[in-house]
């Protein structure tokens, strides 16, 4: 980076000086450069250390059914899954797509895929058939592991068009009877009959997991991480959450989001803690009960979930204040200071904000013990990573050394959890990695004490709760409807989800703008894209505003979206709002 002056505070320099990633590699693999397998690091290592009896996963089903899985059981189960995948011809670095809710098979499959040297590619059940098919295509999935229900509802019709997909393994409901859908194998029958296989001796740089982020050009981009990312999860599991074998750790992320892989699978298991999994979606009364009854000590959730809990009011929260929580943290969007202090009042611990992205693979900036805390900020950069605020001046990136100056957040390349490559779409690596730095696309400012404050995205992505929505993906699908001539999708501010996608459409001749067509388009979008990606509102417009080069003028649409506050279907999935937390 041109004329870079160090923007680090003296405290950051001190932390960085005494820090070495090699120590974590030696702990996991016995040497700094030897073979490293994520699946083995999360399971077999603990069994070899005599901790096979400890509970690795405590699972609570949607209907309160429960299951405890020990480290020894998980090690053997994932070894059998690895054997089945290898037997089915999974090659080194081949990807396995997984379409499962938060059920035990999801976690065992991830570990089994890693042991078999495959690439774990979890997909969100909230997506509709179109986005799922696109992700299977781009990810070049060779094998799909799915629940029978999700497969039948969302993928069976695209199966014939998925050329690279060789096998489909279905996880059936316990009471399922009758034959399996055509061309599918029974996951349980195959795995139960297999003999556990030893984990492959993968290298730290071998690919291990693949997540998708929607880009601005329409096609979802795959972000690939390697086995060595586990060093980042071990370090941050300890530095941010203080995880030890005594902890019960709960991460509420959807399986399709990188947070679920990094902190809903890897970090707690590699630290030897008990991973608590709740199959159900956000339901504050249930969540308070779980925090209390399961003696959760460390919790990782999102501002959207926190805001939902806040809306349920103080009385409910206070009745569960007697809990075992030691640390509660948040990720995905800015966490306002009010939410931080609400955590302290309602649950007895403040919510600590953390920042990272799919590409960074692990937490990079955090309010964490030993790092200091500043409510409303994302926190300070963690050890082992160098962060800078940069501005583009005269065509060259310059580090900003003055406090509180807004610029793009850049990270010096080379931390272990950094993504290794993109797949699909154009060459974005060339655009975001320059001169040894990774440019995050986020605008931030750093205060005089080294705390980072989020300002916004540099591009037009729509951040809706935990989802990053690329406007072009939504627009492309709406254009498939015969009534739509042109369409622009932009974000609209939302109190709960931060932003929601709204669409502005002009119509083809012969179609009449009105409530009937609006309802039809909304339902078409939900069916094709799934509720998570579908626009919440559709406005009809005679002609879309354009730039002189013919590009849709998004700024103008955004202004209009804010002005159009009433009149359309708004957030139909919101939970009831019985009242806010009243400050004492």
Indicate the Cα dihedral angle 459, 464, 467, 473, nearest 10°. Answer: -60
* One of 150, 171, 327, 378 touching ligand AMP (CB under 6 A): 378
User: Which residue is listed with tokens 């089994």?
Assistant: 112
Residue 127 or 504: the one with the smaller Cβ distance to ligand AMP is: 127
- Smallest gap from residue 289 Cβ to ligand AMP (A): 27
Query: Between 474 and 503, how does the x/- string for binding to ligand AMP read (CB under 6 A)?
Result: ------------------------------
- Facing residues of 434 across strands? 437
Q: Is 464 in the site for ligand AMP (CB under 6 A)?
A: no
Residue 250 or 439: the one with the smaller Cβ distance to ligand AMP is: 439
Using left for φ > 0, alpha for ψ between -120 and 50, and beta otherwise, residue 432 falls in: alpha
- Smallest gap from residue 330 Cβ to ligand AMP (A): 7
- Phi and psi at residue 329, in whole multiples of 5°? -135, 165
CB neighbour class for 346 (10 Å; exposed up to 12, middle 13-18, buried from 19) = buried
Q: Is 357 in the site for ligand AMP (CB under 6 A)?
A: yes
Residue 191 or 266: the one with the smaller Cβ distance to ligand AMP is: 266
Residue 107 or 454: the one with the smaller Cβ distance to ligand AMP is: 454
- Smallest gap from residue 159 Cβ to ligand AMP (A): 28
* One of 265, 331, 368, 489 touching ligand AMP (CB under 6 A): 331
- The SS3 assignment for 202 reads coil
| Of residues 40-79, those binding ligand AMP (CB under 6 A) | none
Whether residue 328 contacts residue 336, with contact meaning beta carbons closer than 8 Å, is answered with: no
Residue 198 tokens, joined: 């030893």
- Smallest gap from residue 353 Cβ to ligand AMP (A): 5
- Single out the segment in contact with ligand AMP by CB under 6 A; choices: 108-116, 234-242, 284-292, 347-355: 347-355
* One of 353, 408, 473, 499 touching ligand AMP (CB under 6 A): 353
Q: Which residue is nearest to ligand AMP (CB)?
A: 358
* One of 95, 109, 140, 213 touching ligand AMP (CB under 6 A): 213
Residue 412 tokens, joined: 């010096």
Strand order across the beta sheet in which 66-70 lies? 66-70, 55-60, 274-278, 248-251, 298-301, 327-330, 351-355, 365-366, 380-381
- Single out the segment in contact with ligand AMP by CB under 6 A; choices: 133-141, 311-319, 332-340, 571-579: 332-340
- Smallest gap from residue 444 Cβ to ligand AMP (A): 9
Residue 39 or 303: the one with the smaller Cβ distance to ligand AMP is: 303
- Phi and psi at residue 419, in whole multiples of 5°? -60, 150
Angstrom distance (rounded) from CA 530 to CA 239: 37
Q: Among residues 129, 22, 1, 112, which one has the least CA distance to residue 398?
A: 1
- Single out the segment in contact with ligand AMP by CB under 6 A; choices: 79-87, 349-357, 484-492, 574-582: 349-357
Helix ranges (DSSP H) in 379-487: 428-432, 471-478
* One of 358, 377, 398, 491 touching ligand AMP (CB under 6 A): 358
Helix ranges (DSSP H) in 312-359: 314-318, 337-347
* One of 122, 272, 332, 350 touching ligand AMP (CB under 6 A): 332
- Single out the segment in contact with ligand AMP by CB under 6 A; choices: 123-131, 325-333, 430-438, 499-507: 325-333
- Single out the segment in contact with ligand AMP by CB under 6 A; choices: 72-80, 189-197, 233-241, 327-335: 327-335
Residue 334 or 424: the one with the smaller Cβ distance to ligand AMP is: 334
* One of 457, 485, 486, 544 touching ligand AMP (CB under 6 A): 457
* One of 118, 207, 272, 334 touching ligand AMP (CB under 6 A): 334
Q: How many residues bind ligand AMP (CB under 6 A)?
A: 18
* One of 329, 468, 518, 540 touching ligand AMP (CB under 6 A): 468
Query: Between 390 and 429, how does the x/- string for binding to ligand AMP read (CB under 6 A)?
Result: ----------------------------------------
Residue 73 or 353: the one with the smaller Cβ distance to ligand AMP is: 353
The string over 363-372, giving b where at least 16 C-beta atoms fall within 10 Å of a residue's C-beta and e elsewhere, is bbbbbbeebe
Q: Is 302 in the site for ligand AMP (CB under 6 A)?
A: no
Residue 276 tokens, joined: 């608590």
Residue 120 or 540: the one with the smaller Cβ distance to ligand AMP is: 120
Q: What is the CA radius of gyration of the chain?
A: 24
Q: Among residues 289, 241, 246, which one has the least CA distance to residue 264?
A: 241
Angstrom distance (rounded) from CA 331 to CA 353: 6
The dihedral sign for the CA sequence 134, 139, 144, 150: negative
Give the Cβ contact number of residue 493 at 10 Å.
11
Angstrom distance (rounded) from CA 145 to CA 190: 12
From residue 498, give the alpha-carbon distance in Å to each of 283, 350, 465: 19, 21, 6
Whether residue 461 contacts residue 357, with contact meaning beta carbons closer than 8 Å, is answered with: no
Q: Is 366 in the site for ligand AMP (CB under 6 A)?
A: no
Whether residue 341 contacts residue 317, with contact meaning beta carbons closer than 8 Å, is answered with: no
- Smallest gap from residue 152 Cβ to ligand AMP (A): 28
* One of 148, 442, 473, 528 touching ligand AMP (CB under 6 A): 442
Q: Is 377 in the site for ligand AMP (CB under 6 A)?
A: no
Residue 576 tokens, joined: 């009831």
Residue 140 or 330: the one with the smaller Cβ distance to ligand AMP is: 330
- Smallest gap from residue 357 Cβ to ligand AMP (A): 4
- Phi and psi at residue 276, in whole multiples of 5°? -90, 135
- The secondary structure of residue 534, as a DSSP letter, is S
Query: Between 219 and 258, how does the x/- string for binding to ligand AMP read (CB under 6 A)?
Result: ---------------------------------------x
Whether residue 411 contacts residue 385, with contact meaning beta carbons closer than 8 Å, is answered with: yes
- Single out the segment in contact with ligand AMP by CB under 6 A; choices: 6-14, 228-236, 271-279, 328-336: 328-336
From residue 513, give the alpha-carbon distance in Å to each of 252, 477, 478, 504, 557: 41, 19, 15, 12, 18
Site residues (vs ligand AMP, CB under 6 A):
213, 258, 331-334, 353-355, 357-358, 378, 440, 442, 454, 457, 463, 468
């Amino acid at each position: 980076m041109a004329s870079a002056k160090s923007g680090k505070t003296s405290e950051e320099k001190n932390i960085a000086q005494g820090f070495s990633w090699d120590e974590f590699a030696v702990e996991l693999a016995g040497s700094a450069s030897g073979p490293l397998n994520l699946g083995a690091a999360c399971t077999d290592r603990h069994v070899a250390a005599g901790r096979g009896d400890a509970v690795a996963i405590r699972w609570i089903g949607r209907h309160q059914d429960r299951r405890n899985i020990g480290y020894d059981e998980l090690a053997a189960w994932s070894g059998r899954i690895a054997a089945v995948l290898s037997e089915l011809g999974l090659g080194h670095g081949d990807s396995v797509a997984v379409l499962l809710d938060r059920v035990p098979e999801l976690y065992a499959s991830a570990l089994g895929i890693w042991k078999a040297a495959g690439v774990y590619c979890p997909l969100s059940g909230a997506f509709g058939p179109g986005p799922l098919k696109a992700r299977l295509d781009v990810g070049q999935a060779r094998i799909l592991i799915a629940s029978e229900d999700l497969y039948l509802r969302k993928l069976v019709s695209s199966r014939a068009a998925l050329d690279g997909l060789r096998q489909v393994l279905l996880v059936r409901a316990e009471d399922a009877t009758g034959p399996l859908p055509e061309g599918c194998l029974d996951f349980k029958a195959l795995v139960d009959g297999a003999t556990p296989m030893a984990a492959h001796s993968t290298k730290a740089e071998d690919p291990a997991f693949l997540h998708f982020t929607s880009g601005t050009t329409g096609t979802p981009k795959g972000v690939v991480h390697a086995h060595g990312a586990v060093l980042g999860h071990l370090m941050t599991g300890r530095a941010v959450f203080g995880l030890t074998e005594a902890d019960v750790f709960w991460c509420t992320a959807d399986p399709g989001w990188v947070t679920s892989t990094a902190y809903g699978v890897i970090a707690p298991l590699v630290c030897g803690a008990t991973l608590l999994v709740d199959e159900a979606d956000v339901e504050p009364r249930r969540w308070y009960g779980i925090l209390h009854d399961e003696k959760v000590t460390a919790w990782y959730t999102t501002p959207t979930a926190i805001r939902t809990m806040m809306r349920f009011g103080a009385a409910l929260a206070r009745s569960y204040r007697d809990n075992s929580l030691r640390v509660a943290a948040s990720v995905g969007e800015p966490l306002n200071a009010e939410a931080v202090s609400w955590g302290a009042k309602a649950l007895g611990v403040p919510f600590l904000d953390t920042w990272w992205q799919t590409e960074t693979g692990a937490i990079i900036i955090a309010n964490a013990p030993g790092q200091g805390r500043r409510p409303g900020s994302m926190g300070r950069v963690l050890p082992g990573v160098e962060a800078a605020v940069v501005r583009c001046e005269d065509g060259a990136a310059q580090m900003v050394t003055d406090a509180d100056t807004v610029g793009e957040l850049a990270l010096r390349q080379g931390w272990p959890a950094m993504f290794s490559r993109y797949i699909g779409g154009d060459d974005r690596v060339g655009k975001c990695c320059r001169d040894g730095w990774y440019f995050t696309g986020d605008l931030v400012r750093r205060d005089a004490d080294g705390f980072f404050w989020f300002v916004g995205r540099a591009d037009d992505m729509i951040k809706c709760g935990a989802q990053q929505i690329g406007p072009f993906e939504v627009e492309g699908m709406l254009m498939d409807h015969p009534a739509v001539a042109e369409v622009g999708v932009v974000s609209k501010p939302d109190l709960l989800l931060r932003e929601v996608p709204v669409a502005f459409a002009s119509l083809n001749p012969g179609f009449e703008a009105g409530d009937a067509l609006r309802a039809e388009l909304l339902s078409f979008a939900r069916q094709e894209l799934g509720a998570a990606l579908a626009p919440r509102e559709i406005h009809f417009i005679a002609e879309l505003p354009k730039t002189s080069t013919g590009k849709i003028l998004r700024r103008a649409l955004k202004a209009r979206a804010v002005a159009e506050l009433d009149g359309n279907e708004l957030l139909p999935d919101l939970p009831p709002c019985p009242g806010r937390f009243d400050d004492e």
